[in-house]
Amino acid sequence: MSAFNAKDRSLLRMLAIVGVSFAIATACMDGASAGPPTVVELYQSQGCSSCPPANENISTLTDRPDLLVLSFGVIYWDRLGWKDTFASRENTQRQYDYSNGRLKRRFVATPQVVINGKIDIVGNNRAELTRAVNGARLPAGAPALTLSGPLLSIAAAAAPSGGADVWLVRYDPRTVQVPIQAGENGGRTLPHRNVVHELVRVGAWTGKAATYALPPATDPAYRTAILVQGVSGGPIIASFKA
């Protein structure tokens, strides 16, 4: 005589199905996180009163392994009375390239969040930001990127019709508290994380296997990221974070 009645056997079958479904879902999640990270770029200024909420929202995403979150300080709001301590012309030009290229915006503004070089949102709404990030993926067939010491290798793969730029990004993963002494945010102390300090175009990529020599970091605490994207603010097709 069976130790389980019909109801017990039905329950066991349901538990088995749930267990298999969970295992499949876990495997899918693991596979997704093992791929190239989704690139989330924040363009902000310490002199912009609208930026702190977006900066805070972005900071909540920095520890996710499936994301590469980068904070770019821009210079055009320095005229409001406070010079951004992390802003650079290179960062600002990158935002202009997006505006004039893929995103086709009539002007630049902060705070702007650009995801995989394809879409942009304001970023002050955390729920909207999370939805946009979770729905983003880099295109299939992205070239494999390998970093060995100072050498970056890109495997052969399909490249955009106009070729691609290869960008070296060095950013600070630490949270840095910045006291703002003037301007729209004067009197506040604002936390910053994953701030970009080095943005260098290391070369072009045409789809063939290639190797690039990277310059040393100016600070050993900085982390390294690589972006391969269409020229002049095109979509990002491959990414890597060390």
d(CA 204, CA 156): 13
Note whether residue 104 is domain-resident: yes
Query: Is the distance from CB of 48 to CB of 81 less than 8 angstroms?
Result: no
pLDDT of residue 35: 84
pLDDT of residue 104: 87
- Token pair, residue 37, equals 């990270």
pLDDT of residue 186: 97
Mean pLDDT calculated for residue range 220-226:
97
**Domain tally for the chain?**
1
Note whether residue 49 is domain-resident: yes
| pLDDT higher at 238 or 25 | 238
Note whether residue 210 is domain-resident: yes
Query: Is the distance from CB of 142 to CB of 207 less than 8 angstroms?
Result: no
Mean pLDDT calculated for residue range 208-219:
97
Asked if the model's pLDDT at residue 30 lies above 70, the reply is no
Asked if the model's pLDDT at residue 1 lies above 60, the reply is no
Q: Is 34 left (phi over 0), alpha (psi -120 to 50) or beta?
A: alpha
Note whether residue 22 is domain-resident: no
- Token pair, residue 162, equals 């106009």
Range of the domain at 55: 35-241
SS3 222: coil
Q: Where are the alpha helices (DSSP H) in the chain?
A: 6-34, 51-59, 89-100, 126-134
Mean pLDDT calculated for residue range 137-156:
95
pLDDT of residue 82: 97
pLDDT of residue 185: 97
Asked if the model's pLDDT at residue 25 lies above 70, the reply is no
Instruction: Identify the band that residue 5 occupies on the pLDDT scale cut at 50, 70 and 90.
Output: low
Query: Is the distance from CB of 65 to CB of 102 less than 8 angstroms?
Result: no
SS3 47: coil
Instruction: Identify the band that residue 102 occupies on the pLDDT scale cut at 50, 70 and 90.
Output: confident
- Token pair, residue 107, equals 């002007």
Write the CA distances from 107 to 54, 113, 122, 223, integer angstroms: 19, 14, 14, 31
Asked if the model's pLDDT at residue 109 lies above 90, the reply is yes
Asked if the model's pLDDT at residue 45 lies above 90, the reply is yes
| pLDDT higher at 38 or 24 | 38
pLDDT of residue 236: 97
pLDDT of residue 137: 93
Note whether residue 25 is domain-resident: no
pLDDT of residue 20: 35
d(CA 143, CA 155): 5
Tokens 């088995």 belong to 16
- Cis-peptide into 216, omega within 30 deg: no
Note whether residue 150 is domain-resident: yes
pLDDT of residue 26: 36
d(CA 58, CA 71): 8
SS3 187: coil
Asked if the model's pLDDT at residue 108 lies above 90, the reply is yes
In this prediction, what percent of the chain has a pLDDT beyond 70? 86
- Condensed to tens digits (0 to 9), the pLDDT of residues 177-198 reads 999 999 999 999 999 999 999 9
Asked if the model's pLDDT at residue 2 lies above 80, the reply is no
3-state SS string over 53-91? HHHHHHHCCCCCCCEEEEEEECCCCHHHCCCCCCCCHHH
pLDDT of residue 101: 87
Helix axes 126-134, 51-59, angle to 10 degrees: 50
d(CA 75, CA 58): 20
- Condensed to tens digits (0 to 9), the pLDDT of residues 147-176 reads 999 999 999 999 998 999 999 999 999 999
